[in-house]
Amino acid sequence: MDEVRIARLIERLEAHLDGLRVARADGLRIAKERYSEFPEAGELFVLRMLEPSATRTRVSDLDLAKVRAFLAAHVEKQEP
């Protein structure tokens, strides 16, 4: 994936996260419901990004190696 596509993807992800943040309690409730239904890395990532300590954190500022390590350690492995 080229840099332009990655930038667009990050921009869309930021917009979705911003929408959930603006929705406040409802956004967090929705994110928790999705994670409880689909306990996967993407859903856990969203929950972490909605934590108060991550309010000003932008996806583009994250250390991707640390994100991957956290998600790998905290998401249960699904059997095929």
Give residue limits of the domains in the chain: 3-74
- Structural contact between residues 49 and 17, judged by C-beta atoms closer than 8 angstroms: yes
How far apart CA 74 and CA 80 sit, in angstroms, is 18
Q: For residue 79, is pLDDT > 60?
A: no
Burial tier of 31 (Cβ tally within 10 Å: 0-12, 13-18, 19+): buried
The pTM is what? 0.87
Give 45's pLDDT tier (boundaries 50, 70, 90).
Answer: very high
Give 77's pLDDT tier (boundaries 50, 70, 90).
Answer: low
Q: For residue 26, is pLDDT > 60?
A: yes
> Quick one: tokens of 12?
């869309």
Buried b (16+ CB within 10 A) or exposed e, 37-51: eeeeeebbbbbbbbe
